[in-house]
Structures are given as C-alpha cells and as structure tokens.
Homo-oligomer: A and B are copies of this chain.
Amino acid sequence: MIYFNCDYNEGAHEKIMERLLQTNMEQTAGYGCDEYCEKAGKLILEKCRRADAAVHFLVGGTQTNATVIAAALRTHQGVLAAQTAHINAHETGAIEACGHKVLVLPSENGKLTAEQVEASYQAHIADDSFEHIVQPKMVYISQPTELGTLYTLKELTAISAVCRKYGLFLFVDGARLGYGLTAEGNDVTLPDLAELSDVFYIGGTKVGALFGEAVVITNPALQQDFRYVIKQHGGMLAKGRLLGIQFMTLFENDLYTEISRHANVLAEQIREVLSQKQVPFLVKSHTNQIFPILPDDVLAKLQEKYCYTWQERIDEKHSAVRFCTSWATKKAAVDELCGDLQELL
C-alpha cells in the first residue's frame, strides 16, 4: 500500500534524525530552556526579520491552537473561524474545552475574507443585546487552509487591517506553512506573516519533523506569561531540546524550504495528469493537498494500491477525495500513481 492519505506517515527528515542521534546523550536543561531551543528561535526570528518576537516550541497542532487561544482570550471572548477550520472541525472541541466559542463563518474554499470579519464585528457591536453574545476578539485562519488554498498577500493584508481597526488578534495556523511558502503563485513570506499577524506558527509535524510547531508571537500583549499557559495545557515537553534540535535543523541551510518545495513539485505532477484528463477539483490549490473529484469506479481501483482520504460525495457516481504529498514522498511513488491515473481515467 502506498500512502497519499496525509503528510505525517513517515518519521523525520534524515538530517533531523542524524542530529537527534548526535546529541542524544548530551545533558541539557529541560522544558525548552536549552541552547538548541535558543538557537532555533534565533534562526526563525532572523527568517521573520523580527528580533523582538518570541518563539515557543510545542508538540502538536491542536495543543498549539488551544494554548494560543486560551492565552489570548478572556472568558467571554470567542474566535472567528471558517467552518472548515481545524479548530472548528477536527479538534474534539479543544477550544470549547478551554471555555471559548468558535464563531463559525461560512466558507467555500477554506478562507475567510476581510469583509466577513468586518461584518461579523459590526453585527456584534450593532446588536442591542451584544452583551448576551460572545464577543469576537480573535480571527483564526490557516495558511495554507485545510483545503490547501492560500491567502494572497493582499487578502492577508486586508484581514490584518480589519483586525487592527477593531482590536482583534490575528492568529495564523501554519501547520502546513512550508507547503504554502513554497507554492507556485504564493506571495506571502515569513516576514509578511510576522508583520501582519499577532501570532502564527510554523508547522514541523507535517514538514519534516517527528513532531513540533514553532509559535512566533509578535504582539507583546500575547507574549506575557505564555510559558505558564504552555505548561497548563500539557505542551511543555520535558526534553524540550528535541524541539529545538529539530527546528534548528529545519532552519539551517533552508532545509524547511527545500523539502516543502519537493512536496509541491510532486503534487503539481499529479495535478497535471488529472487536469489533462479534465478531472474537476473540489478546490484549486498549489500546495501539497490535491482534491480531485473522481468517478467511484476509478476510486475503487485506486484504493487497492493507494491510501487516500475520502472527502465528500459529489453525486451518485463521483466523490471528492484528498491526495497528499509531503517532504517524504518518493518520486517513484508519484510516477506510479500518475501512470495508474493515466490508465484508469
């Protein structure tokens, strides 16, 4: 079975494994107070061109989302998010378990618009019974989104402007950020994210690390006491240097960029075959997730050999599915898939 179902089927990039081995018996301070974390943080801030920001390393995405949101919001405040947002759809209510409502906005392509955010805020303050309604205080977006789509710099700038106009925090979930930064047509850089958001994170779990997410907090109001909240949420890894070592490796010599681009190139190869065969897509994207709409009989054959994710039924004979490439995907596997697609379609 060849896995295209997600981007976390393998362990870590070989250079990360090497470093973990090399440093394995070193004695360091715990809980992220070691030199590797410090160095990794500095590398990241250099890439972001924001020496004043804070960097913290957490283990996984759900944990990171809950920690950031719990640290930022007061009890009566909620977070605006697209219906498809990971925090709304796939975290077993982790945000609500921290006491905060996810204020859901409709979205076809996984993205929010500045207009939606503005309208939500305006509707809140215009309502006579506003104190009976959760106060929107944060906007959560993903770059790339859960559907693989990307905000353009213009769109992101517009959302950021609305957030600043109304005192809303802008939080960008970058669990797959590498695949966004290196996607064809992308014009949003790390310095842009640092400039336009209040807090964002750079995903490691899905981009070459065993695990790990690097949170970059640019808004000083959100920096205070953040480590307390990490600890409370069970996110303070005892051997924190494991995170530092991994992110140090990813951000030295641009490994993060290189391996992200690898996944996107392979995804484009699959997309091209599908496009040639006039296969429609649920959404258009240029990152490592591909959402073709395929005939059920083709899917039935594919699943004898390939593992992919079922997304949604389109009509009686067609379903949308998801294929993922990753830093670890082998060219040979993609060639084989493309060959089979050529034949079956």
Contacts and interface: CB of A to CB of B under 8 A. Distances in A.
Interface of A: 1-3, 6, 8-12, 14, 17, 20-21, 23-31, 59-64, 66-67, 70-71, 74-76, 78, 89-94, 96-102, 104, 128-129, 131-135, 205-206, 210-211, 225, 227-229, 231-239, 242, 309-310, 328
Given A11-B242, A96-B101, 13 more contacts: A8-B239, A9-B28, A10-B26, A17-B21, A62-B232, A71-B74, A91-B231, A91-B232, A96-B96, A96-B99, A96-B100, A205-B239, A210-B239
State the oligomeric state as a number of copies: 4
B8 A25 contact: no
Most buried by B among A61, A225, A239, A328: A239
A199 to B, nearest CB: 15
Contacts of A328: 25
In the A-B complex, the 4 residue pairs with the smallest Cβ-Cβ separation, listed nearest first, are: A63-B234, A11-B24, A76-B228, A92-B232
Given A231-B132, A234-B235, A76 B60 contact: no
28 contacts: A3-B27, A8-B30, A9-B29, A10-B24, A10-B26, A11-B26, A12-B24, A21-B21, A31-B131, A61-B238, A62-B234, A62-B236, A71-B75, A75-B97, A78-B93, A78-B96, A92-B134, A92-B135, A92-B232, A93-B232, A94-B232, A96-B99, A96-B134, A97-B99, A97-B232, A210-B239, A211-B238, A233-B234
